[in-house]
Amino acid sequence: MNAIPPKRHTAIGTNEIDNDMAAVLNLGPSFAISRKITDTTIDEALCGIHTFAHRLRSRIQRGATVLDRESTLLCSMPFPSRGIRLPDSTPNVDSKLASLELAIKKVYQNEATQLYRSNLTISEERGFRKLIRLKDKLRFMVGDKCGSFVVVPQSLDKNIINQTLSDATTYAETTAAAFRRACENIRETISTVVKPTLGSNVARALLDLHPVVPTFYCLVKTHKLPPSVAHQDLSANEIKVRPIVSSCGGPSDRLSWLLVQLLSPLLHFVGAHIVNVEGFLSSLSECQVPSTAAYASFDVVSLYTNVDNSSAIESVISLYEQHRSQISTMGFSADDVRTMINSVLACNVFRFENRFFEQRRGLAMGNRIAPILAIIFLDHIERASLTSGILLYKRYIDDVFVIGTTEMEVEATLEKLNTFDPHVSFTIERPDDEGYLPFLNTKIRLTSGRKEYVWHKKAASANILVHSRSAHPKFIKANVVRNLMKTKGKLCTATDVGVERKIARILEENGYDNNPTTTATWFSHTTSDGIPLILPYVGDRPARAVNELVKQAGLPIRLVFRPPPTLKHLLTSTQVYEAKCPEPDCPYCIGDKICQLRGTVYLIKCDGCGERYVGETMRPLRRRLDEHRRALVNPSSYPSESFSRHRTLKHTSERAPTFKVTVLHRHLTRTLERKIMEAVEIRRHKPEINNKEELRDVLRLIC
């Protein structure tokens, strides 16, 4: 098998990564391993079809509507809903849906009979198995700037994190009670501020009744590793890291999302703010540059943890009040915005190794609202620091490009910026010997007022694209390369031999010997009003066959193929050091630690009679299983529970039986997908304990 990439990983403090494992890591975090088609794959395909069918029927039943503000917010929320509505049957499309389901199922079943061919070499397959076995000993992460895998022993990783948390000016240990108080504060803010303004439905959707505790982890800055020390011998204090609080699913995550929707339009009024390199180059082209001009780039040192939160909030409120007539305020006053931001920032408790900590200063990277607050906070500093001698000042988060009339103006501006806030420090980078200055993914040179720029890739980057052997659809890989070539074309004022060589080398390292954009390819079918039909990608041949079936179906479909899990998904985690089960004698975690799993479809088998029950829950599985257990022990208190009926009919004069649990599907965060897979498993297992009304409603999802 060809297309073997060069070394593109960093191992620190360990010599356990042999050649087989290195070969896998060098493929990059975005590499997807081709999968064998199993019953699980076919279930995933059927789930995609039934999800599409539900959404199509709902659209037909709802008819043409114009969404109001509440409905628009609810539809755009990236969080699981608490329930779903079952639409009525639609005879005019039901037969088409049934035919499409059978045809697609047949494609996957036929492909399952074909000989499986892995997209890994024999050495890589060996290496992948070794890496999986070492997950309890090594920590795998993606480097801060390089984009490649970084591997450290878990003992060293813990030392790094403990050293970071020992900074008493930024972090302090706290208690679980502090976390509960933070959760209550969020609930109160949603109840008193959001609900009166946006209504009870939006407030209910923003209220997470079972939030996770945010976790703390660090990403290694590989570009700042000391070159004079061998990676294997580095100590914790020699390794620079970026601290992150993983707040996804945390108590403030949903309210923070609402604030992003509300406050993002304010960034249009931040003069220095740019969203991408194209915006920067547009501003640069409009700038009149005299021959005496000087240019440089500034970088803010550890911006997030050095933001003064009070100043950041007041800067946001000031901008909000100034431009409230130019944005959609959703009905919130400035005081409402202040209350919501304070509530989100006060929810600053996280966990590491099951100990609770709080961030005492600055913003936590990982909070949705943090970038907006940081951008507007710096705008407050810049407005008071910039002078008329600055011709161009553009900033992407904490990276600044500045042009001044003279070198003295640039120096004076840097000095003003560095004296405004004692915690905020700007560093400076000047053009190289050839006059080029890197900024974002370009290099700029100003010569006698003339502007030149070329495409640039930072030295720290490992130049990883989706590898040519990755189990992604061919058109996705062609688009990756096409976008690289387009970006290069946009970011070069003239052909540059060095850039062309670099592009060619990047393509070769990622397995693209020939430019795939010049090869004829196909694209998945889509209609202008298409509803996503998401199916597992298992190879080019079955994907083409499915594409033809979808074209002929006569339904409004936007066909999407979901690649298999990537190496990043399979190897990395932000919760490596948190207990998977809080109790040593947990009645549910017999072998596999399952009680804290969320988004599960599960099978219960009664130890007393062998009858079964299939259920689903988004909550921690333990919460739902405890409810079943209480219904068995005290059935009169839970008259509507299936297990109350089971105890009464099957074990009337016996002690409450115990039961065993098998998790059939996990990490199904979308309510509709979870309900559909519950229906699939009910049809498969025909459980005796589920009541008939429950079975009838659930099975309507897959009829």
Residue 182 has pLDDT above 70, yes or no: yes
Rounded-to-integer distance, Cα 347 and Cα 362, Å: 13
Rounded-to-integer distance, Cα 340 and Cα 348, Å: 14
Contacts of 171 (CB under 8 A, 6+ apart): 164, 165, 357, 358, 359, 360
Give whole-number Cα distances, 152 to 171, 470, 527, 679, in Å: 24, 25, 47, 43
Angle between helix axes 474-490 and 497-509 (nearest 10 degrees) is 160
Domain that holds residue 614: 600-702
Rounded-to-integer distance, Cα 584 and Cα 604, Å: 21
pLDDT of amino acid 494: 83
Task: Give the phi and the psi of residue 303 in degrees, each rounded to 5.
Answer: -55, -55
pLDDT of amino acid 6: 86
Q: How confident is the model at residue 346 (pLDDT cuts 50, 70, 90)?
A: very high
Structure-token pair, residue 389: 């001698």
Structure-token pair, residue 322: 């100034």
List, edge to edge, every strand of the sheet that includes 171-174. 171-174, 355-359, 349-352, 215-220, 241-246
Comparing 496 with 402, which gets the higher pLDDT?
A: 402
Residue 2 has pLDDT above 70, yes or no: no
Rounded-to-integer distance, Cα 12 and Cα 140, Å: 11
Average pLDDT of the residues in 557-578: 95
Contacts of 175 (CB under 8 A, 6+ apart): 356
Give whole-number Cα distances, 47 to 367, 569, 644, in Å: 32, 21, 31
The answer to whether 243 touches 218, Cβ cutoff 8 Å, is yes
Q: What share of the chain has pLDDT > 90, as a percent?
A: 83
Residue 579 has pLDDT above 80, yes or no: no
For the chain, how are helix, strand and coil distributed in percent, rounded to 5? 45, 15, 40
The residue out of 384, 400, 430 marking a domain boundary is 430
- Enclosing H/E stretch for 410: helix 407-420
In a domain, 44, yes or no: no
pLDDT of amino acid 581: 83
Residue 534 has pLDDT above 80, yes or no: yes
Residue 204 has pLDDT above 90, yes or no: yes
- Enclosing H/E stretch for 57: helix 39-62
In a domain, 252, yes or no: yes
pLDDT of amino acid 519: 58
Average pLDDT of the residues in 172-198: 97
pLDDT of amino acid 66: 63
Range 301-315 burial, b when 16+ CB lie within 10 A, else e: ebbbbbbbbebbbeb
Residue 14 has pLDDT above 60, yes or no: yes
Contacts of 700 (CB under 8 A, 6+ apart): 86
- Enclosing H/E stretch for 441: none
Q: Which of 674, 533, 602 is nearest to 81 (CA)?
A: 674
> With 0-12 CB in 10 A as exposed, 13-18 as middle and 19+ as buried, what is 65?
exposed
Give whole-number Cα distances, 597 to 36, 373, 474, 578, 623, in Å: 25, 33, 34, 13, 10
Structure-token pair, residue 484: 């690289």
Tell me how many domains the chain contains.
Answer: 2
Give whole-number Cα distances, 369 to 148, 338, 366, in Å: 27, 13, 9
In a domain, 491, yes or no: no
The answer to whether 426 touches 414, Cβ cutoff 8 Å, is yes
Q: What share of the chain has pLDDT > 70, as a percent?
A: 98
The residue out of 412, 430, 448 marking a domain boundary is 430
List, edge to edge, every strand of the sheet that includes 399-404. 390-396, 399-404, 294-300, 426-429
Average pLDDT of the residues in 388-406: 96
The answer to whether 508 touches 516, Cβ cutoff 8 Å, is no
Q: Which of 79, 69, 70, 445 is nearest to 250 (CA)?
A: 79
Q: How confident is the model at residue 387 (pLDDT cuts 50, 70, 90)?
A: confident
- Enclosing H/E stretch for 343: helix 334-346
> With 0-12 CB in 10 A as exposed, 13-18 as middle and 19+ as buried, what is 148?
buried
pTM of the predicted structure, to 2 decimals: 0.93
pLDDT digits (tens, 9 = 90+) for 158-167: 999 999 999 9
Task: Give the phi and the psi of residue 466 in degrees, each rounded to 5.
Answer: -60, 120
List, edge to edge, every strand of the sheet that includes 138-142. 9-11, 149-153, 138-142
In a domain, 470, yes or no: no
> With 0-12 CB in 10 A as exposed, 13-18 as middle and 19+ as buried, what is 30?
buried
Contacts of 303 (CB under 8 A, 6+ apart): 374, 378, 397, 398, 424
pLDDT of amino acid 517: 57
Average pLDDT of the residues in 240-253: 95
Give the Cβ contact number of residue 240 at 10 Å: 15
pLDDT of amino acid 4: 81
Q: Which of 182, 198, 177 is nearest to 251 (CA)?
A: 182
Residue 520 has pLDDT above 80, yes or no: no
Query: Could you give the dihedral angle defined by the CA atoms of residues 465, 467, 471 and 472, in that order, rounded to the nearest 10 degrees?
Result: 40
In a domain, 116, yes or no: no
Give whole-number Cα distances, 427 to 22, 180, 373, in Å: 36, 40, 21
Least trusted range by pLDDT, from 378-382, 462-466, 586-590: 586-590
In a domain, 94, yes or no: no
Q: Which of 270, 256, 253 is nearest to 316 (CA)?
A: 270
Count H helices and E strands in the chain, helices first: 24, 20
The answer to whether 331 touches 148, Cβ cutoff 8 Å, is no
In a domain, 359, yes or no: yes
pLDDT of amino acid 89: 85
Q: Which of 203, 208, 161 is nearest to 182 (CA)?
A: 208
- In single-letter form, the type of residue at position 453 comes to Y
Q: Which of 127, 130, 135, 256 is nearest to 575 (CA)?
A: 135
The answer to whether 362 touches 309, Cβ cutoff 8 Å, is yes
- Alpha helix segments (H runs only) across 529-670: 540-552, 567-571, 621-633, 642-650
Rounded-to-integer distance, Cα 446 and Cα 440, Å: 17
Average pLDDT of the residues in 594-601: 93
Least trusted range by pLDDT, from 52-56, 630-634, 691-695: 691-695
In a domain, 58, yes or no: no
pLDDT digits (tens, 9 = 90+) for 472-500: 999 999 999 999 999 999 999 888 889 99
Mean pLDDT of the chain, nearest integer: 93
The residue out of 387, 413, 430 marking a domain boundary is 430
pLDDT of amino acid 515: 61
For the chain, report the end-to-end CA distance as a whole number of angstroms.
Answer: 45
pLDDT of amino acid 145: 86
Residue 3 has pLDDT above 80, yes or no: no
- Return the DSSP state at 332: -
- Enclosing H/E stretch for 246: strand 241-246
Rounded-to-integer distance, Cα 543 and Cα 529, Å: 21
Contacts of 118 (CB under 8 A, 6+ apart): 33, 34, 125
- In single-letter form, the type of residue at position 703 comes to C
Rounded-to-integer distance, Cα 439 and Cα 458, Å: 9
CATH number for the domain including 688? 3.40.1440
Strands of 95-196 (E only): list them. 138-142, 149-153, 171-174
